[in-house]
Structure 1
Amino acid sequence: MATINRKEIVQALERLGQLARERGITIDLVLVGGALMVLVYEARESTRDVDAIILEPPQAEMVRELARVVSAERGWMDEWLNDGAKGYLVGLSSGPVVFSAPGIQVRRPATAQLLAMKLSAWRDDIDIADARRLLQEMSGSREDIWHAVEPYLVPGDELKAQYAFADLWETHNGDN
């Protein structure tokens, strides 16, 4: 499996929810990263994995176990559902539900937090394109948006994020 497209993400999440219901649990995830850009923002065709924070059940290993069942059924790598992104989150903002099926609910963080994650990473053209798409979702002045993003920046990456934001803003809006 090289990448996962929107249809495959939906099918895998639906199956994960079905497996959860069979075990009498409900899964609550917060989606971040590429899968969110594919599923919600339609910013690209596919992603390598599904980065998610597992909120429920509290025993995240239960969800990982069910995800391994899905990976075996689909012939995917075991880590298609990757909960390692929590190290890149500063707090967890509340965002809307973006996907729901029996046994599973998936939400996203606030757009400002997603943009902060992309600015803090700023590794490649994919991060830049994702950040550009997220900036389109936000309204306000340069200062307003920066102040909304700033609390979510990954510690140690603030200066890189500030320069990345300046470049992004100027490319998107000019010097305004």
Structure 2
Amino acid sequence: MAKSNNIGLMDRDKLLKIFEYLNERLKENQLQLEITVYGGSIMTMVYDNRPATRDIDCVFSETNIKLLDNILDLTKFTFNLSDDWINEEIKEPLKSLLKEDKETYKVYSNLKILKPKAEQLLAMKVLAARPEPAKDFIDAYILCKDLNITTRTELLDTVSDYIPLTLLGERQINFIKYLGEDLGYDWE
């Protein structure tokens, strides 16, 4: 029974195999694609703090959508992924961003994978501030450590570069306080 919970889970190796497969299908169809990957997939691939992710939060560049949908369906079948393995819902929170700072993660012959810089990813995690089982808190903790953020001011300065502070409500403020506490700092 527990095995069914793992259907479609993608660890770092599987994610990279999926991207290689996508690249091969793109090459066969003489299609170039740029994809920006966010959230859990980036935390799984770059920071390796998650054993796996259920979906790939991403945004695709403009391309032949009919052909791309076919390639994505082939990928889903080949890797036994869930129906919602591609999640473009990230487009909504991206509308709140003041700017995007992307960098290249990996380049294949026909596929280019971009990711947000760690500072932007941290700002997005603070804005989301979802309760468990979402991993926003753990991710924000790891990103603060990675960026050497030790004060509330440093955190808020980083967040305000990407998100208007007026969007921070009670949930985000509590999230920041608990984050500071877990990091060993008094961010009251």
Stretch deviating more after TM superposition (33-42 or 133-142) = 133-142
Amino acid at match of 2:45: L
Give CA deviations for 1:4-41 in whole Å, capped at 9, x if unaligned. 11111001111111111112121111110111110011
| SS of alignment partner, residue 49 of structure 2 | coil
Alignment of 1:105-144 (within 5 A): 105-123=112-130, 124-125=132-133, 126-140=135-149, 141-144=151-154
Give CA deviations for 1:105-143 in whole Å, capped at 9, x if unaligned. 111112222112212222215221111111112235431
Equivalent residues, number: 175
**1:76 counterpart residue number:** 81
Amino acid at match of 2:159: V
Gaps of 5+ in 2: 1-6
Amino acid at match of 1:81: I
**1:146 counterpart residue number:** 156
**2:176 counterpart residue number:** 165
Selected match of 1:29 from 25, 35, 53: 35
| SS of alignment partner, residue 47 of structure 2 | coil
Gaps of 5+ in 1: none
**2:3 counterpart residue number:** none
TM-score normalized by the length of structure 2:
0.81
Cα deviation for residue 67 of structure 1 reads 1.2
Distance in 2 between residues matched to 1:37 and 1:104, nearest whole Å: 20
Distance in 1 between residues matched to 2:139 and 2:66, nearest whole Å: 30
TM-score normalized by the length of structure 1:
0.86
Structure 1 residue 97 and structure 2 residue 104: aligned?
yes
Describe the shift of the 1:53–1:61 C-alpha distance in structure 2 as closer, same or farther (beyond 3 A): farther
Structure 1 residue 9 and structure 2 residue 19: aligned?
no
| Maintained 8 Å contact 2:159/2:165 | no
Distance in 1 between residues matched to 2:48 and 2:178, nearest whole Å: 23
| Maintained 8 Å contact 2:9/2:81 | no
Distance in 2 between residues matched to 1:62 and 1:166, nearest whole Å: 47
Distance in 2 between residues matched to 1:168 and 1:7, nearest whole Å: 30
Stretch deviating more after TM superposition (83-92 or 20-29) = 83-92
Cα deviation for residue 60 of structure 1 reads 4.7
Describe the shift of the 1:116–1:62 C-alpha distance in structure 2 as closer, same or farther (beyond 3 A): farther
| Maintained 8 Å contact 1:67/1:78 | no
| Maintained 8 Å contact 1:38/1:47 | yes
Structure 1 or 2, whichever has the larger Rg, is 2
